[in-house]
Structure formats: C-alpha cells, structure tokens
Amino acid sequence: ALIARHGHPTVLWGRDVATVATIDGGGENPRYLPGIALPGNLRATTSLHEALVDAALVLVVVPSHAFAETLRALAPLRPPQAGVAWATKGFEPGSGRFLHEVAAEVLGDDVPLAVVTGPSFAKEVAQGLPTALTVHSDDAVFCRQVADVLHGPAFRAYTGNDMRGAELGGAMKNVLAVATGVADGMGLGLNARAGLITRGLNEMLRLNIALGGRPETLMGLAGLGDLVLTSTGDLSRNRRLGLALGRGSSIEDAVREIGQVVESIQTADEVMRLATLHGIELPIAEGVRDVLHGSVTPAEGLARLMAREQKAEYPQDLFG
C-alpha cells in the first residue's frame, strides 16, 4: 500500500484466494488490515508469475519459516533486472542462518539483495502514520532504489550497508519483546521494563559484535528503535505473547488468540544456538527461550535473572 501510494504500480502476491480477491476487487485486506482503504493502483494475485512478470524490484514479506521456500518459488520467475528485498524478521529455522545468507544461496551471488527493517507496525504504515525505517544492502544502487520507493511524505527510509547487524536487530528484538511483555504481564513495574529493554540492548550488542555486525546499526532504527517499539507497543504480537504468558496463559492459548505469526517462538531457539556457538551469555534471551519451551515458569525466569552475579555494566572490551 505504501509503495502504491507513492505512485508505483504494485502487485501483491498471496496464496489465499478469498483475501486476494477482496484486496484486488474491494481495496481492503479484511483478514489482516480490516477497515483500511488500500490504494486503487495496488493489484493482488495468487499467481506468482503474474506478480513478477513486470517487476522492477521484489519485496518479500512472508514469515521466516516460509522465506526459503518463497525465494525458491520466485527464483525462476524473477525478471533478471529485479533485485530482491525483504521485511521478514528472523533466522532460517533449524540452522540459525541469516536470511541474507539464505537469499544469496537460493538466488545466487549476483542478485542485488536488501534488508528492510526498523520500527514499523504494518497497521500504522497502512494507515499512513509517520514512520522511519532503514534499508541495508551491500549494493549501494539497489539500496537506494528500495529506499526511494518506500520514502515519501509520511515515511522516512534511511540507508546503510550492514545487513548482518540490521538482520540481527530485527530478529532479536522479537525475543526481547517477549521478556518485557512477560514482566508487564506479571505486573513487575516500569523500572523492570526499562531495565529489561536496556539489558536486552546490551545482549543484542554483544551477540552482534561476535557475529561481525557494527554496533551503530544496533543503536539505530534496526536495533534500539525496533526494540523500544516492540517492547512497549501493544500492537506487537511478540509483546502480546509475553503479556499473556506473564498473566498465566499457556503458550498454545496465547498463540491461538493472537492469530498471526509470532516470530520469537522460533527465533529464540536460533538466537540461543548462535550464542552457544560463539560462547556468549544472553540471560534474557535464554530465559525467554526456556519460558517458551515451558521448562521454566515466568516467576522462575525472573528469579534466575535477579540471582545473577553482580558485575560491570559493560565488559571493558565490548566496543574494542
């Protein structure tokens, strides 16, 4: 909707026949964005071929568990000039690979790739409310092309070239939002919320440095910005999962009630896989992983965090 409003003829591909028909014919997405008028030049189709045939660029926005299969489906249909960007946040489930690594493997090294990430609830973007996010790519020309179609009167699209840091921020904030949701659901107060957000940022920075991302990426829209939005905004599915768990719901009931993708459920495992691989302690992310697996209760997770040894806020060598 955002890209179409900027005057670019845009074709949305989806697999649900009824939803696609209502978007294409009725200018509304009743399942995911009810009541929001979509622009007339936004078309929708269930045919991937039709969606891609004249594409100048491709933006993938499926959940992370469907990322690789979607790229495999679009690879033979993609026009040679069309680079591929994605707003998906997470890792490849089961391997912990970054999505830009998956994309390079599936599409080949010569296809321009970009990550679109930052604090942006879809509903607010569709409503035309002011939003800022960031596009990261190794290809400066493609990065600018993606940012240019997104940038407009109510939308600021910044650019960068740290795909690794940008992807880590977008994935990890989902896990950390569960932690603040749990704390708020348990009624632990505003101090606990701010403490968790800040120590969560510290966990992001430590893992990011070990993985080769740049610290400033995590201090910007892709890290701190999205962490604050998702940890404090009740539109977040990941925060709402935490709130429900903190109030005593089962994970099954909470996920059913939310009824949309909750990326943290898989991402928590992948974050901890990466942390173990690099020998890094991430106590908040680990607590979320264990609560999501049901191996500790929220109260036990809190007790575990509070009993940790006292220490310096930042290890001396964090920023090299």
Ligand X SMILES: O=C(CO)COP(=O)(O)O
In the complex, what is the shortest distance from the CB of residue 135 to ligand NDP, in angstroms, rounded to a whole number?
13
32 binds ligand X (CB under 6 A): no
- Only one of the segments 42-50, 84-92, 142-150, 244-252 lies at the binding site for ligand NDP (rule: CB under 6 A); that segment is 84-92
Full DSSP string of 10-46: EEEE-S-HHHHHHHHHHS-BTTTBTT-PPPTTEEEES
Total site size for ligand X, rule CB under 6 A: 13
- Only one of the segments 19-27, 145-153, 196-204, 235-243 lies at the binding site for ligand X (rule: CB under 6 A); that segment is 235-243
Neighbours of 151 (CB within 10 A): 18
Q: Map the footprint of ligand X across residues 72-111, applying CB under 6 A.
A: 89
Catalytic: 123?
Answer: no
The listed partner (ligand NDP, ligand X, none) that binds 15, CB under 5 to 8 Å by sort, is: ligand NDP
231 binds ligand X (CB under 6 A): no
The answer to whether the annotation marks 206 as part of a ligand binding site is no
Site string for ligand X, 244-263 (x = CB under 6 A): -------------------x
Q: Which of 70, 217, 230, 267 binds ligand X (CB under 6 A)?
A: 230
In the complex, what is the shortest distance from the CB of residue 234 to ligand NDP, in angstroms, rounded to a whole number?
12
Q: Identify the active-site residue in 5, 173, 206, 289.
A: 173
Listed residue (223, 222, 233, 166) closest to 200, CA to CA: 223
261 binds ligand NDP (CB under 6 A): yes
The listed partner (ligand NDP, ligand X, none) that binds 266, CB under 5 to 8 Å by sort, is: none
Longest Cα–Cα distance of the chain, Å, equals 60
185 binds ligand X (CB under 6 A): no
Site string for ligand NDP, 38-67 (x = CB under 6 A): -----------------------xxxx-x-
| Interface residues toward ligand X, by CB under 6 A | 89, 119-121, 174, 177, 226, 229-230, 236-238, 263
Active-site residues: which are they?
A: 173
The residues of the shown chain that bind ligand NDP, judged by CB under 6 A, are 14-16, 32, 61-64, 66, 69-70, 87-90, 120-122, 260-261, 263
Q: Please state the residue numbers annotated as binding site for sn-glycerol 3-phosphate.
A: 89, 118, 120, 173, 226, 236-238
